């Protein structure tokens, strides 16, 4: 049965690293709503500041304080998400002061904020100590079997679950999900990793190990795409890629509404390209590009 949704909610990368970019973009988005598709909403911006040991995924460099970031993003009624998806955490890491201080701060926001998690141990700790924060199950778990995804979605502690991108087109199984399950799925749209990559989990573990300061051999990705550097044009050829047309004509009609854009380490110029592609009406893309590139407070790269 089709369950048409009318809104596509996007979750954007670079909460800390792209603070200045989002400061300009969000003002533009809400002051010139006519530039952007009517069905598009902004649900959250995710990331974590450098030198936080609970972090997973890419390292963000930041100049703005967490207080500034939280205040600015929440002022637009947009949720902030801390990317605490380190997969190698041990119990002694739970007392880390910087990470706990961030959770305490983000629990106090005037909007419901969240944490993206991998570790079940951290999930339980956050539920006990910071119940105001909602939890998102991270794609770093690399759950590639649909039965495993259903088990994850059915866990009550998670408000959202980000599937491995290789399940993005499992339409026969996705269609059978209940409305409750569909509401919890958040699809990663623009992944560049090779569809058949066997080392995806090792790549995430390598980043987690470095965040914890644990020595070990560097993991060298064999993906041609990553060796060339991220190219949106190449990501578009990935079998798991979700296009804007797919969102509008397939996913919304199937009853899904949450979509995640990756790109925390890719630079603000490429983040702008994602925003132009997914959020902006074609006839307004030049206007948006000019507004942001000509903003003399920004250093797009």
The pLDDT value recorded for residue 166 is: 94
Give the mean pLDDT of the chain.
89
Quickly state the pLDDT bin for 1 (edges 50, 70, 90): very low
The pLDDT value recorded for residue 214 is: 78
Region 50-70: mean pLDDT is 83
The pLDDT value recorded for residue 157 is: 97
Considering the entire predicted model, what is its pTM? Answer: 0.92
- What DSSP character marks residue 156? T
Sheet of 114-117: strand order equals: 158-161, 134-137, 114-117, 79-84, 40-47, 8-13, 258-260, 186-188
Quickly state the pLDDT bin for 263 (edges 50, 70, 90): confident
Least confident residue range of 61-70, 153-162, 219-228: 219-228
User: Residue 260's beta-bridge partner residues?
Assistant: 11, 188
User: Residue 10's beta-bridge partner residues?
Assistant: 42, 259
The pLDDT value recorded for residue 193 is: 74
- Whether 268 has a pLDDT exceeding 80, the answer reads yes
pLDDT: is 56 or 250 the higher one? Answer: 250
Least confident residue range of 2-11, 24-33, 271-280: 2-11
Q: How far is CA 237 from CA 56, 168, 225, 254, 301, in A?
A: 26, 14, 11, 23, 24
Q: Is 16 left (phi over 0), alpha (psi -120 to 50) or beta?
A: alpha
The pLDDT value recorded for residue 233 is: 86
Q: Percentage of the chain with pLDDT > 90?
A: 71
Q: How far is CA 159 from CA 9, 128, 293, in A?
A: 14, 16, 36
Region 253-274: mean pLDDT is 90
Cβ-Cβ contacts under 8 Å for 274 (sequence gap 6 or more): 12, 190, 232, 261, 263
Region 1-7: mean pLDDT is 71
Out of 45-54, 93-102, 187-196, the most confident range is 93-102
- Whether 220 has a pLDDT exceeding 60, the answer reads no
Do residues 254 and 244 make contact, with C-beta atoms less than 8 angstroms apart? Answer: no
165: helix, strand or coil: helix
- Whether 201 has a pLDDT exceeding 90, the answer reads no
């Amino acid at each position: 049965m089709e369950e048409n949704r009318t809104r596509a909610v996007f979750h954007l990368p670079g909460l800390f690293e792209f603070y200045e970019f989002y400061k300009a973009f969000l003002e533009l988005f809400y002051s010139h709503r006519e530039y952007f598709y009517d069905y598009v909403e902004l649900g959250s911006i995710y990331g974590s500041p450098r030198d936080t040991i609970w972090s997973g995924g890419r390292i963000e460099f930041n100049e703005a304080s967490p207080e500034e970031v939280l205040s600015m993003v929440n002022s637009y009624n947009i949720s902030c998400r801390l990317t605490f998806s380190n997969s190698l955490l041990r119990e002694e890491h739970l007392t880390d002061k910087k990470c706990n201080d961030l959770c305490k701060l983000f629990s106090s926001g005037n909007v419901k904020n969240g944490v993206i998690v991998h570790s079940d141990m951290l999930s339980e700790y956050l539920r006990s100590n910071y119940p105001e924060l909602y939890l998102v199950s991270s794609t770093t778990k690399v759950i590639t079997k649909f039965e495993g995804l259903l088990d994850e979605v059915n866990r009550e502690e998670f408000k959202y679950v980000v599937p491995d991108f290789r399940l993005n087109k499992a339409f026969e199984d996705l269609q059978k999900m209940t409305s409750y399950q569909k509401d919890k799925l958040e699809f990663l749209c623009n992944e560049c990793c090779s569809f058949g990559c066997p080392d995806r989990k090792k790549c995430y573990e390598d980043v987690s190990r470095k965040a914890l300061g644990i020595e070990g051999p560097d993991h060298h990705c064999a993906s041609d795409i990553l060796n060339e550097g991220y190219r949106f044009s190449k990501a578009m050829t990935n079998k798991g890629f979700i296009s804007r047309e797919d969102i509008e004509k397939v996913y919304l009609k199937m009853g899904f509404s949450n979509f995640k854009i990756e790109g925390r380490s890719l630079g603000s110029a490429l983040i702008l390209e994602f925003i132009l592609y997914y959020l902006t009406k074609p006839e307004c893309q030049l206007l948006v590009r000019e507004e942001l590139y000509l903003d003399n407070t920004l250093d797009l790269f």
